[in-house]
Amino acid sequence: MQRIILITIACFFWSLALAQPHSTAIKQRGLDMARALLRSDFEGYVSYLHPKLRSNPADQQQMRQGIDSAEKYRKQLGIKISKVLIGNPVPVQTYKTVLQSALVQTTTIESLMGSIVTENVLVALSEDGGRTWYFAEGTLYEKLQKEKGLPPLSPDLQLPPVKPPVVKPAAVPK
């Protein structure tokens, strides 16, 4: 009887150990991507996007221009990304040989006029059994899937809900 209990406990912990690496890897990659965003590291940031989103040189040029424009306005208006938080991934699903998950990214942007806190969903995808995870914007996923050929999402993948942006005006001196 004790042997059965020990085997059951060992199997339980073994299954937890197998499930943990995917969640940990997804969150770590998300944190690394957030750090690249905070450093305004275009090359680093883009390396975390799904390869189909960055394989076309014209797409890379368009992303580069968008980031350069945002950087220009950021400097002119005194805007800075002060914080990026990465939530815990939802359970990993396998659909048509692609591992899939999603997580919420919360970004705090500050300026002289106040701050804004936004949330967005990142879809995490791995086509190599979980060794490498890439991301795509969750709210644009269907459009990106049609235009760029991203893999279809599992019907069982539950994308986390996002909260509307929260604007906090700067304190007015009295």
Max Cα distance, the chain (Å): 74
149 neighbors 62 (Cβ within 8 angstroms): no
In angstroms, rounded to a whole number, what is the distance separating the alpha carbons of residues 141 and 29?
19
Chain segment 148-173, per-residue pLDDT in tens: 889 999 999 989 888 899 999 888 77
Residue with tokens 């795509």: 136
Q: Which residues contact 153 (CB under 8 A, 6 or more apart)?
A: 95, 100, 123, 141, 145
pTM for the model: 0.79
pLDDT tens sequence across 135-151 = 999 988 888 888 888 99
